[in-house]
Amino acid sequence: MEQFLQQMVNGISLGSIYALIALGYTMVYGIIKLINFAHGDVYMIGAYVGFAVTTYANLGFFPALIISMASCAVLGIVVERIAYKPLRNSSRIAVLITAIGVSLLLEYVMMFFVGAEVRSYPKLLSDKAINLGNIVINMQQVYIVVTSVVLMIILQFIVNKTKIGKSMRAVSADKDAAQLMGIKVDKTISFTFAIGSALAGAGGVLVGIYYNSIDPLMGVMPGLKAFVAAVFGGIGSIPGAMIGGLSIGVMETLVSGYGNSMYRDAAVFAFLIIILILKPSGLLGKNTKEKV
């Protein structure tokens, strides 16, 4: 039982990071029905920004987190304006291929500037731990979970209580009707990319702290797992992305703890296949009918 509880603690801390990344997927899809496969690489750049400001400017955890989020927000807006906005009325497959191209571009541009080697992340948080019997909760896990929860609460407040949040919900429901009502659709979409990318940047810093290493290809697998989390929760649903991220994190740690860590990625994608077969709309997603 103690081993199970320890794995649950580890899974919640890891799942909190997946949830932050999954929120970016689900927000962008909810607004413009785009699966932004470059999102995982935005998270990678966030990790490198955090690495740079802590290594070369000697800043602490919270300044690194804020600067990383701000940098990734700007990057998200630039990517949307340059790569996605001109293709807004194009076919889904054209936009999807563009997203994959942007992903590869970000990876190899970063590799050109920083090199392909793995870098050790600076120690930003205390090594102190809380012992509850044989269950160990270190301060890194506490910071990760608390930071993730606070950011999710702020996101919920923005979406549900602010003017731009109402605009986002209106554009998600009916883009053309929202435009007729005076909502600036382009500004709303850019803001959505900015928020999603900022959350990914925060996730990058937290992952660097959690795994203590970063590299230019680090965004590929966590990005795909966050996509699985978004699909599981119901892509387009913000609470669903949170639930999905936590579920995927717990599943990974349980597979690693009770089975073999080599199979944890296979377990996640097998889970995706089962979801798509049994409930394609996800846990909190809505079934939609399309006229043909």
What's the pLDDT tens digit per position in 142-154? 888 898 889 988 9
pLDDT value for 71? 95
Name the band, by pLDDT with cuts 50, 70 and 90, for residue 75: very high
> Span 116-144, mean pLDDT?
82
Name the band, by pLDDT with cuts 50, 70 and 90, for residue 27: confident
pLDDT surpasses 90 at 50: yes
Q: Which residue has the higher pLDDT, 184 or 89?
A: 184
Q: Strand, helix or coil at 120?
A: strand
Cβ-based neighbours of 85, under 8 Å, separated by 6 or more: 186, 189
> Span 265-271, mean pLDDT?
85
In this structure, the number of other CB atoms found within 10 A of the CB of residue 221 comes to 12
Q: E-assigned strands of 123-259?
A: 129-132, 135-138, 213-214
Name the band, by pLDDT with cuts 50, 70 and 90, for residue 199: very high
Name the band, by pLDDT with cuts 50, 70 and 90, for residue 289: low
The token pair at 229 is 């989390």
Q: Which residue has the higher pLDDT, 251 or 128?
A: 251
> Span 65-86, mean pLDDT?
93
